[in-house]
Chains A and B, each alone.
Chain A
Amino acid sequence: MERQPHAVELFVRSLSPSGATHQQERILERLDELAAEGHVDDYEVTVWGERVVPDSVAADTPTGENVLDTVDEFGSWATAHGVSVERFYPEQTVESAITGDEFTAISLPVVAMAEYVDGRLHHVTPHEGETVQTVLGRLDALGTETTRSRDERPLRLA
């Protein structure tokens, strides 16, 4: 069976988030290796910042809508696969320093990864099922897994 294109998009808060640089660097190094070995075809990095307030002007911009759509899409993927991503996107009530108004903000994970096969969302990390699957854990699995075992349980959505 011919392998389908396996593209990866890595979402990061910052290209140099304080304290998380080592982990992020290891993830990017690992992605480079996996791309060189042909386990992934291509990867892209998207900076999505630390937080997003759904009810804000910034969230209404195309960039903001993309971030919120991505978070929604990850949630739908998790539900369809009997896992959860919620705890990685905690909602907080934040008070404006100036007006005192309260609003809801969604915290974004330091690093999240989406895999697309044939242009369709195939896998999301981090997620939580019986255990937590981290981005690095998933990359290790991708490196050791053969193409066949990765594709033998194709995604079946109603």
Chain B
Amino acid sequence: MTPTPSPRVELYVRSLASRTGQQERIIERLYRLESAGVVESADVHVWGEAIELSTVAAETERGQELLETVSQFRDWAARSGASLDGPFLNRETESLLTGRSHTTLRLPAVAMAEYEGEEIRAVTPHRRDGTVRTVQERVETLAAETDRAASSDAIRH
């Protein structure tokens, strides 16, 4: 059996400071997995709390880039029978000033994408068969898979 190549990990956060220590633990763990070679690289990006569609902000290069990333996440979900609708929520709001309604895409506090080359291998958080898989759980799984691979390697030799 050929080993699965180490994924390149991109972590997206609303803000560098989180209210709980969870984000800190995720980044710490990812960096350890990077040093251990379990993940090829781990990068952190700030994407803010939301993006309002049909705005000048959404039309900027950064806005387009962000929307493209979310659209690739959704393609992955469609291919793999997962749903991102909970974490990535489109919300209709009405402007008090203009009375016009706007669609705002709320972004999750932390999301993680794993890539093999340019191809997305997994996105968390997601829901599949009624179960929510969090970033934290996914990071633990990546760590456990390596531990298992390492111990079976040790037995073989």
Contact = CB atoms under 8 A, between A and B. Distances in A.
Contacts of A52: 15-17
Given A61-B44, A63-B45, A49 B15 contact: yes
Nearest to B45: A63
Given A15-B52, A21-B55, A28 B20 contact: no
Main secondary structure of the interface of A (DSSP, over half): mixed
Nearest to A22: B97
A50 B4 CA distance: 37
Contacts of A22: 97
A17 B49 contact: yes
Indicate the size class of the contact surface on chain A.
Answer: 35 or more
B27 A47 contact: no
Contact of A16 (B27, B43, B104): B104
Interface residues of B, number: 36
Interface string A86-127: 000000001011110000010000000000000000000000
A58 B61 contact: no
A51 B49 CA distance: 12
B28 interface: yes
B13 A28 contact: no
B21 A99 contact: yes
A46 interface: yes
6 contacts: A15-B50, A17-B48, A25-B57, A48-B16, A49-B17, A58-B13
The list of the 6 closest CB pairs from A to B, nearest first, reads: A14-B48, A49-B15, A16-B52, A51-B17, A28-B56, A15-B51
Interface of A: 12-18, 21-22, 24-25, 28-29, 32, 44-53, 56-59, 61-64, 67, 94, 96-99, 105
